[in-house]
Structure 1
């Protein structure tokens, strides 16, 4: 569930739909609330203790390097989606980022590419579906995965089965695959910790998570379709430290 909350961490304080936004499409709210309660319980007894232990014994600079490696390994999937969206320049820049950071950046430990005016830009199959006009569909909450909708859920599955790094490494059943999955889960949950803390202060954590996720994904789709203002391709490179939340760019 940390992955979904990590994506919406900046907006997780939202308590209701903002003015002008569509109401939540949540026909399975009863089921989803039960799943949310289960997910939060599992997080409390399983993921949170592991993440807090990791944060306690690992200095932030080291955690930032781990986050950089995790992000770098996901870059090839971004390349695929930019190509599918008919954005060859962005696909080539993301390819260049992966090559530079995997070599000069020591397997992604350091974001050298950003200093070479190749800023990080995210994309996934959910965004690609939205780019071609697919609506989000019904909201659904999946324990240990977090908030989703039908479109993004299908996209998330495709992201996993088409992941080039996983395919080359032999899949999640290999030692590398298991280690990567474990490190990614711990890293993402640690990065999402502020979002979890914010949820605890919300009058209705379920609504806050749902609203924040919907706002984030709506903006992410608009960025792909050009309906929202986009950042220039050669903006100032970000700090070498990994951000707490992934940018929708």
Structure 2
């Protein structure tokens, strides 16, 4: 588990189980440690596993999980919900921009409407009024935009203190930081928002801890979940089904002849 960037938000969506040059589909090999198979998406696996152990055994165990437990004990649930709603509302301009860059007019319009409704009627986003009137959040970012434009994943990365990502995802995150309206926030507000999102993601992860801990290879488990979630986001919840292997009919003809 990682601190801050939601490795946890990825794990929250484990139950839910790209692009033209996407390397995600290039390998379906088993990535468990010690099996002898090589995952082409993960050329830096040795480094990534070390970072996973550091994030999981040190940062989460000694910092993020205890902080989250304390946060849940001190801040009432309605207040926690209001804080994360306000934080998410600040991301609506980013969702709007990338909906437009991906040629999704419906998504773009919804993001604009959500920001307007929640910033006014929802009192600066504290109350997610938009969702209650049928305007579901459109989760868009530069990583997804690059994927839609045909940029491949690049190498899988387990970042220290940040969790799973890809080379394309890192570029996307930097890009979103440069032009995002969030960059206009003061440093204290930026840190506050960052912390609230991390604590909220870790809180939601609590119910899935046992599933992760009982998996034979937590590192591989999280990696596969990350790529599944990534495809889910890129294709707006409708990822393409893996191509079924073609059957050589000549094999059956030969068997019948031999028979």
Same fold (TM over 0.5): yes
d(CA) in 2 for partners of 1:212, 1:59 = 31
Hey, what does 2:218 align to over in structure 1? 205
d(CA) in 2 for partners of 1:62, 1:197 = 27
Hey, what does 1:113 align to over in structure 2? 130
d(CA) in 2 for partners of 1:68, 1:38 = 30
2:12 and 2:204 in contact (8 A); partners too: no
Hey, what does 1:156 align to over in structure 2? 173
Choose the corresponding residue for 2:148, options 118, 123, 131: 131
Unaligned runs of 5+ in 2: 18-25, 30-38, 242-259
Hey, what does 1:89 align to over in structure 2? 106
Choose the corresponding residue for 1:188, options 201, 219, 226: 201
Shift of 1:122: 0.7
Shift of 1:130: 0.8
**Residue 235 of structure 2: SS of its match in structure 1?**
helix
Structure 1 residues 22 and 161, CA gap change in structure 2 (3 angstroms): farther
d(CA) in 2 for partners of 1:220, 1:93 = 16
Hey, what does 1:234 align to over in structure 2? none
2:142 and 2:172 in contact (8 A); partners too: yes
1:78 and 1:123 in contact (8 A); partners too: yes
RMSD of aligned Cα (Å): 2.6
1:100 equivalent in alignment to 2:117 = yes
Cα deviation digits, residues 8-57 of structure 1 (max 9, x gap): 3231798xxxxx97444111110000010111121111111101111122
1:5 and 1:196 in contact (8 A); partners too: no
1:26 and 1:138 in contact (8 A); partners too: yes
Hey, what does 1:39 align to over in structure 2? 55
**Residue 203 of structure 1: SS of its match in structure 2?**
coil
Hey, what does 2:229 align to over in structure 1? 216
2:146 and 2:172 in contact (8 A); partners too: yes
Hey, what does 2:245 align to over in structure 1? none
d(CA) in 2 for partners of 1:8, 1:206 = 11
Task: Count the aligned residue pairs.
Answer: 220
- Report the TM-score, using the length of structure 1 for normalisation: 0.79
1:177 equivalent in alignment to 2:194 = no
Hey, what does 2:248 align to over in structure 1? none
d(CA) in 2 for partners of 1:228, 1:195 = 27
Shift of 1:227: 5.5
Shift of 1:216: 0.8
Hey, what does 2:164 align to over in structure 1? 147
- Report the TM-score, using the length of structure 2 for normalisation: 0.76
Unaligned runs of 5+ in 1: 15-19, 230-249
